[in-house]
């Protein structure tokens, strides 16, 4: 081996090791970002399920109000609503209380909806217009 090449022995190995280390660092960063994205996706799915459950509870409350057919100032009775998802069932509790005025066109209903397993609540005001009801406002917390 010539004297000139003897002093460069192993330098190529150092360059290759530096490139491998940089590549492994980039792979580690990409995998860290991907795992955080997958964990975030699970929470978005859970939040979407609870939002849909609360919306279903509002539709149920409106149907109960429409079906009451002139029950005067008495708030209609509701039962729990169970929604089946692949990850498990969600039970929705609907509370209806009569507002003011309590009968006829323009009568109002105060709706409070909660879903088990979530800390979300939907509050709404339903107004009777003719023979049906409309959502005057709603608040999602």
- Quick check: pTM over 0.85? no
Q: Which tokens hold the place of 124?
A: 């709404």
What pLDDT shows up at residue 28?
92
Domain count, the chain: 1
Series of mean pLDDT values for 10-residue runs along the chain (141 residues) = 63 89 93 80 84 90 77 78 87 88 81 84 87 83 80
- What DSSP assignment string belongs to 75-107? PPP---EEEEETTEEEEEEEEEEE-SS-SSTT-
CATH number at residue 69: 3.30.1300.30
Integer Cα distance of 52 and 21 in angstroms: 47
Range of the domain at 26: 3-140
Q: H/E element holding 109? A: strand 108-115
What pLDDT shows up at residue 70?
54
What pLDDT shows up at residue 7?
65
User: Which of these, 141, 136, 135, lies nearest to 58 by C-alpha position?
Assistant: 135
């Amino acid at each position: 081996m010539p004297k000139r090449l003897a002093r460069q022995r192993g330098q190529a190995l150092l360059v290759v090791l530096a490139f491998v280390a940089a590549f492994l660092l980039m792979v580690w960063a990409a995998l860290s970002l991907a795992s955080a994205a997958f964990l975030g996706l699970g929470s978005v799915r859970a939040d979407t399920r609870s939002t849909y459950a609360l919306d279903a509870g509002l539709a149920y409350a409106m149907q109960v109000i429409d079906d009451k057919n002139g029950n005067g100032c008495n708030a209609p009775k509701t039962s729990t609503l169970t929604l089946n998802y692949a990850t498990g069932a969600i039970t929705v509790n609907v509370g209806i209380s009569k507002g003011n005025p309590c009968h006829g066109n323009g009568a109002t209903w105060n709706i409070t909806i909660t879903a088990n397993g979530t800390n979300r609540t939907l509050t709404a005001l339903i107004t009777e217009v003719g023979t049906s009801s409309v959502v005057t406002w709603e608040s999602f917390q």
